[in-house]
Every structure is written in C-alpha cells, then in structure tokens.
C-alpha cells in the first residue's frame, strides 16, 4: 500500500523540459474528431462544430489535496482526470480534451512522473479524452497538478445549477461517504506505519472505502443512463465537497429550498461499519464527506416512474420553495437545517 | 520598487473559498459573444460557432518563474495573462477567454490576491479576454498560478510552427533581449537592497529593460497589422524562451534550416548599454534572453515589399534547406551554429 515515493532513478535535471514532455506524452494519441492539433505547437486546435463548449479547471496541491505516502502517483493521475471530467458530466456534457500542467520539485524522478502519466493515460482511455497540451516546470517544493478539461454538449441538453423547480425530485447517484470513510482508514494506517513500518495491515474489509478514496470514478454511466431514459435534469452538480455543500449551491443558484430525508441517504454497509469503528455519525459522513464524485440532480415529478428503484439512482428528497431553506428530516420527522461542513481549502484548521 | 509583500491585512482563512472567489472576481464581466456562461457553475460554457478553437496553458511558480521581492503582484497578474495570450497570437488567433487558478500559502492576504486580480483584470481589458473560471486553493508554500487561455481563428488563418518554406523571409517583431537585460538590473538592485535597505536606486536609465521584464505586452498589434497588410505567415511562434530556442522549434516543425544575420538583430540602445555595464555580449542576450514575447515568423518573399522598413518588424534572415541547419552569420561572414541556451526549468543550475 505504501509505495516507494522516491525510487531514485532518473533525475529530472538529466532531461530538458522538451525531452521530458516528449517522453511522458509519447503514448498519447488524439482520438476525438474535435481534436485537430494536440501537443507540439504554441496552442492546441479544436473544432466543436455547432456544439456548446464546456470548460472546467482544477488545481491539485500536494499536502493539501493529496498525500503521496498512501496515494500512488498512478492513482493520483487517474483521480486528477476524474475530478475534472466529473465537472463536465455535471453539466450533462461529454468530455473530450484535457490539458495537464505540473510543477515538480527535484524530489521527483522521471519514473515517478511516468507513473503519474500512466494514470492520466488510463483515465483518458476510460473517459475517451485526448491530452492536447500542458506545461511542465520545476517547483521549489512538492507537486502541483493543474488540469483543464474541455467537452461539449448540444445547447438544449446542458444542465446548470440553476433550473431546479419546486416539487422536483432530488436524486443522487451511487452512494455517499465512501471516500471520506476510506480516508479515515488510510490516515490511520499511515499513523500505524510511522510507528511500526513492518506492520502488514489487513485492509480487505475496507476495500470499498479505500477504492472510493484512491480510485474514484466520474459518473459517465449515469449521464449515458439519463440520455437513454430520455431524462433531462432540471439542475445538476457533482458531489466533490459533500452533499450538504452541493445542495446549498443548487439552492442558491436555483433560488429554491430542499427537503432531504435522512433515511433515504444511500450509504454502503462497509461505510456504516467504518463509521461505527471510528465513532462517526454515518449521516454526517454521508452529508459532508466529500470526494464521492457522485451526481446530485433534480428531475421533474413526471420522470418518477423512469428512475424509481433504479440501482444507480436514489431519490433523497424534493425541492421546496426558497423560504423553506435546505432541511434534513430524520426518521422522527425532526427537521435540521443543512449547513456546509464540507472541505474548505482556506480553513484555519488546515 | 520593492513592494511590501505582506501588508498583514485580511488573512485568507477569514474568508471561505467561495467568498474569496466572489470577492476577487466581482468586477469581471463577460464581454465576448462566445462567452455564454462564466464563473459560478461546474464549468463555463462557450460558443465559437464555426471557428477553430485555440487552447493554451501555462503554470507560473514562485521562486521559479517570478520573484515577489521585485515583481509587484499586480504586474504578475498582468504578465500571467500576457504569457498565455501571446501563445494564441502565435497561432494567429484572437484570445477571448481565460481560466485562472492559484494556490497560495497563508503568507498571502486577501489584499495581496486582490492586487494580483487587479493585474489580471487590467490585462483582460487590454486584450479583450473574459475570465470564465478557475480554482483557488491553499498551498504549503509560495504562490502558483495556472492559466488556460482560449481563443479562436478562421481555420484557414491559423499559423502553426510547421509551414516555413525554403527562401521564406524570417521576421521578428519589436526588439530582443530587453526582458533579460531588465532582469539583470532587478537582480542587482535586489542584492543591493539586501545589503542596504535604505538605498534609493536611480533606475531612470533602465526603464525600458525593467518594463520589458515587469510589464511585457503580447503583440496583438502585430497580429492586427499582419491582417491589415493581408499577410499570412507561413509559420509563427512567440519568443518566450529566447530567439535561438524558438528558431530551433520552427526548424524542427517545418523541417527547414535558417540563416540569421547578427547585424540585423533588433536590439534597443538601452539594452546594449546594460549589456556593456554587465559585460554581456548583446548578441548572446538577444539570441537567448527569453521572455520578450515578440513574434517570430516566416513569410513568403512576395510579401517583402509590404514589410520592409516597417517600424514594428525586422527581417533577420531567410529559410534554408533542412541540411544547412540553423546558422547565425556575423558581420565578417563567419557562420556559427545556433544552439538553444534559453531558460530550461529543470536545468541542474537552477
């Protein structure tokens, strides 16, 4: 589990910037018709014909967003793509290109970056995305990765955060809290490893949570499903900072409130067990965990029959008028206002 | 000249990430028809109709690309945009959108980032670019800025690095070596300041070089000029790493060689004086200085009459067959092979 971060092979200073780019990107080929020209000129060229272009960007910083003591670089590369394409799916768009820039300190060898690019390539293949450019540079400390993802959608198919209407159903894909539960396990094992590096932990009972943390997937399948069911959500967002935080974003953009039912929250049994082990409230973890990269969306009541009992989708509540605010309703009918407790980068506790 | 880096005002931890974005971007408005939706959703939306989309990205790292002891944050913001739009002009495209992401350590206050965004806004206004998105996060040390710029061009107007033909003329805009000369002055004043913080240097004789380093401009005017002269370069690149390095890029992509005449290199008189003061060879500085953000391009001989003696443009040589390689020819007719000595991020000397 704990990869050797520094296999002391080829220092980056042995390669020039251009040779490094050539080596890291040699196995990437352009596959999408919209990718006219990729790496190798001052800029990449794209042609989306009449479609609307969708653009998103994310910055991942070592020590803030990832910890290489338990996050293998290949997984990090994969996750960096997932985080971005997830934002495009949240617009009901199809990703087609990414640019990848990184700044790496001299602690990183060529082989380490090669592992990062293996993960990027695996994700590009899985999501049908072309690597079309980027920038590579040294840093004075640590690794920073910046990805911009581009995609497209027909103009009338785009789903924004605004658009939720009173009485719409609130739907979430997959289940919640898994990535946060997995993080608790990894942080505990890191602490154990520091005390006793020879300890061989049995993590087999935590595989789901760990996978949700280390190798999340963006819900391309859900976007395809909605298309095949002929459902156009009235609003949509991906769950990166936690369900509570995303509900508040939808509420603000759509000028509505929400009633969410605690007993409807989809939580994997393993996540409940991890919560018990760590004495965490599983509802709190599901509401505020973050990094699940599930889709949260609202649909008209008329779509109820199409989605009820679908194994990928759970109806967790409904849209109310704005004055009601965002409320979590528990099994006893008690109403609790939803507040954002998700991850915030600039918090004092960091 | 030496701005207070840390005016100890509002710590970033007093603001949440979303409040910070709101505050920093409140004065930015969308102006381009192609910008459908900017900041505030999972992704931005663009519509380029039938034009080809041009995308470029750059990562700027404190301590590698900039030194805040003499680079005011407002200038840094401006330069960060220039670096990117310059790449789009090098494709003969018009920039229209940027995304800006940054990671800042707790050394930076809100007011410091506000200064950065003032510079970004000034450059967005000057180049007609809309800020459409980004990501903000904390970092464990220093400031990192990642910008992606998008623009468009008619498909048949795009100029790539490939396309230079034997006997074409080699043209450069503006003059060379100024940014490097300015950097020498700033580094010297920084060293003096460390010894005697009360010293008030008279930098009035170095204003051109310092301006080239601290507030470079991308050559939008040259792109407009070429259009008005009805000239389509056969190949083009912007000079960010030094003329030598860019000539080698054009040669490789176009499969040609170059004859460049030393006496034709455009160098400002102030730059020659600074070179004398620092005992630097001004040809070496012009060939390898970097960060000038001038345009280097090739045009057909038939365009000679249109560009000869133009104050913005200098013909510095011609294109030869590939086997000739890239050669600098001095006043005595001696031929010297051109090699890249430009800035490389991963060099051991760094």
Note the ipTM here: 0.88
What's A169-178+214-337's CATH class?
A: alpha beta
| CATH topology identical between B12-157 and B169-337 | no
Q: Find, among B249, B348, B84, the residue nearest to A16 by Cα.
A: B348
- The CATH superfamily assigned to B12-157 is PurM-like, N-terminal domain (3.30.1330.10)
In the structure, what pLDDT confidence band is assigned to residue B292 with cuts at 50, 70 and 90? very high
Chain A partners within 8 Å of B59 (Cβ): 101-103, 135-137, 144, 146
Asked whether the beta carbons of A105 and A141 are under 8 A apart, the reply is yes
Chain B partners within 8 Å of A138 (Cβ): 61, 64, 345-346, 350
Counted across chains A and B, CB pairs separated by less than 8 A come out at 228
Q: What pTM does this model have?
A: 0.90
Question: CA-CA distance, A71 to A80, in Å (whole number)?
Answer: 12
Dihedral sign from CA coordinates of B168, A22, B213, B84: positive
Question: How far is the alpha carbon of B276 from chain A, nearest alpha carbon, in Å?
Answer: 31
Tokens read off for A189: 């094992």
More confident residue, A88 or B23: A88
CB contact B5 to A (< 8 Å): no
Closest partner residue to A43 (CB to CB) among B55, B61, B139 is B55
Closest partner residue to B138 (CB to CB) among A48, A103, A346 is A346
Over range B213-222, report the average pLDDT.
Answer: 96
Asked whether the beta carbons of B43 and B32 are under 8 A apart, the reply is no
Asked whether the beta carbons of A256 and A320 are under 8 A apart, the reply is yes
Predicted local distance difference test score (pLDDT) of residue B230: 96
- Domain assignments of chain A as residue spans, ordered by start: 12-157, 169-178+214-337
Question: How far is the alpha carbon of B259 from chain A, nearest alpha carbon, in Å?
Answer: 22
CA dist list (Å): B210 to B61, B75, B126, B179:
20, 12, 20, 7
Q: Report whether pLDDT(B349) > 50.
A: no
Asked whether the beta carbons of B134 and A129 are under 8 A apart, the reply is no
Q: Find, among A271, A266, A277, the residue nearest to A208 by Cα.
A: A271
Helices (H) and strands (E) in chain A, counts: 10, 13
Tokens read off for B282: 């001004």
Q: Residue-wise pLDDT tens for chain A (350 aa)?
A: 444 444 457 888 787 777 888 888 887 888 888 888 888 788 888 888 888 999 999 999 999 999 999 899 999 999 999 999 999 999 999 999 999 999 999 899 989 999 999 999 999 999 999 999 999 899 999 999 999 999 999 989 999 999 999 999 999 999 999 999 999 999 999 998 888 888 887 888 999 999 999 999 999 999 999 999 999 999 999 999 999 999 999 999 999 999 999 999 999 999 999 999 999 999 999 999 999 999 999 999 999 999 999 999 999 999 999 999 999 999 999 999 999 875 555 654 33
Summarize pLDDT for B55-73 with one digit per residue, the tens.
Answer: 999 999 999 999 999 899 9
Partners of A145 in beta bridges: A60, A102
Over range B106-132, report the average pLDDT.
Answer: 93
Domain spanning B169-337, CATH architecture: Alpha-Beta Complex (3.90)
Q: Find, among A191, A337, A183, A209, the residue nearest to A269 by Cα.
A: A209
Asked whether the beta carbons of B261 and B116 are under 8 A apart, the reply is no
In the structure, what pLDDT confidence band is assigned to residue B240 with cuts at 50, 70 and 90? very high
The nearest alpha carbon in chain A to B146 belongs to A146
């Amino acid at each position: 589990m704990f990869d050797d971060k520094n296999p002391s092979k080829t220092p980056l200073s042995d390669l020039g910037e251009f040779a490094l780019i050539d080596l890291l990107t040699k196995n990437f080929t352009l596959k999408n018709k919209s990718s006219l020209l990729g790496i190798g000129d001052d800029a990449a060229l794209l042609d989306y014909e009449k479609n609307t272009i969708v653009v998103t960007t994310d910055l991942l910083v070592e020590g803030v967003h990832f910890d290489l003591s338990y996050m293998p670089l290949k997984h990090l590369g994969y996750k960096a793509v997932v985080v971005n394409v997830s934002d495009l799916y949240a617009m009901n768009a199809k990703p087609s290109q990414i640019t990848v820039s990184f700044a790496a300190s001299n602690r990183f060898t060529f082989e380490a970056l090669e592992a990062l690019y293996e993960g990027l390539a695996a994700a590009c293949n899985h999501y049908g995305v072309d690597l079309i450019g980027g920038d590579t540079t040294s840093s004075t400390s640590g690794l920073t990765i910046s990805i911009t993802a581009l995609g497209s959608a027909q103009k009338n198919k785009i789903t924004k955060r605004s658009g939720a209407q009173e009485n719409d159903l609130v739907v979430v894909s997959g289940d919640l809290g898994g990535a946060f539960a997995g993080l608790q396990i990894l942080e505990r094992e890191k602490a154990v490893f520091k005390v006793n590096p020879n300890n061989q932990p049995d993590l087999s009972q935590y595989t789901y949570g760990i996978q949700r943390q280390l190798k999340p997937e963006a819900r391309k399948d859900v976007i395809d499903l909605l298309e095949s069911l002929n459902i156009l959500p009235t609003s949509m967002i991906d769950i990166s900072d936690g369900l509570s935080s995303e509900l508040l974003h939808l509420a603000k953009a759509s000028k509505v409130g929400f009633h969410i039912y605690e007993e409807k929250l989809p939580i994997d049994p393993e996540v409940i067990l991890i919560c018990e082990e760590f004495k965490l409230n599983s509802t709190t973890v599901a509401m505020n965990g973050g990094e699940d990269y599930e889709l949260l969306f609202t649909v008209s009541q008329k779509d109820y029959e199409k989605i009820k009992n679908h194994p990928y989708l759970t109806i967790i509540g409904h849209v109310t008028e704005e004055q009601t605010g965002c409320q979590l309703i528990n099994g006893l009918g008690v109403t609790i206002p939803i507040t954002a407790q998700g991850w915030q980068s600039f918090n004092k506790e960091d």
